[in-house]
Chain A
Amino acid sequence: MTTKDTVYIALFAALTAALGLIPQITLATGVPITAQSMGIMLAGALLGAKRGGLAIVLFLALVAIGLPLLAGGRGGAGVFFGASGGFLLGFPIGAFVIGFLFDRHAGRPPFLLSLIYVLIGGVGVVYLLGVPWLAQVADLTLGQAFTGSIAFVPGDIIKAVLTVIIAREVRRALPDL
């Protein structure tokens, strides 16, 4: 791990925090979306598996020790025990998976494939951890917990598309990131 890797990890942890400051947008369906999870997707797509995953681990570590960095100014260890704790745990793993999939390509993967990668890691993995956790904490069945979460998926898809557009342009400008 070089100094540059350490700095990039810190940069994307900070970017994820900064994206949480953007006021949330409420979709037509009444579901709020925040820009924060784009930080997770960008970290994976731009930094790769190891650095991207560590960036999000670092972000969550700072949240856990009490910095109010989650969207809406939340922070502290409590958020991990709440209903959305599983989604938070899914963040670094999702970033890692996105990075892992991108790392398999020497250059930039094609647009559609990139989008699939971001959706697998940034949505698939995150819900895979988030939904069962929610079911456990709230004593719901998996089906009930999933139905309760599905309203957030359209927002996540929009963020995945934005992430892919941004990541492709940034990689074009900085090929040896």
Chain B
Amino acid sequence: MKSIILTTASRTLLPLLILFSVFVLLRGHYLPGGGFIGGLIASIAFILHAFANGLKKSRFLLRIHPGFLIPTGLLLALGSAIVPIIFEGLPMMTGVWYPETLPVIGKVGSALFFDTGVYFVVIGVCLTIIFTISEQA
């Protein structure tokens, strides 16, 4: 399924889509979006790239095995859940925030890190599943 148009387009689309997915992730706390949707968009970006350019190239582009993203994300989410216990002495998963409001992102807090963890897990899961299956097929 090699098509020059798709191949060329996908090269440009990949960074754009990734950027978009990060955007969706970050704005999730205020507008529609979030870790799940961002993660799915990012996965679709990679899968599109894989279809256009072949699995090898996408894997090379990703550098690491997508499976590694799963524990990374889980640890990030777990970490953000534990942070309040360690630093503030609050119950698990209590939201803690950096007092200043940052531009673009808004308030930064443990919830954002949690959502980022979700984002990584979703990318990891989707890519692991699709890549593994398409290698076998």
User: Do A and B originate from a single complex?
Assistant: no
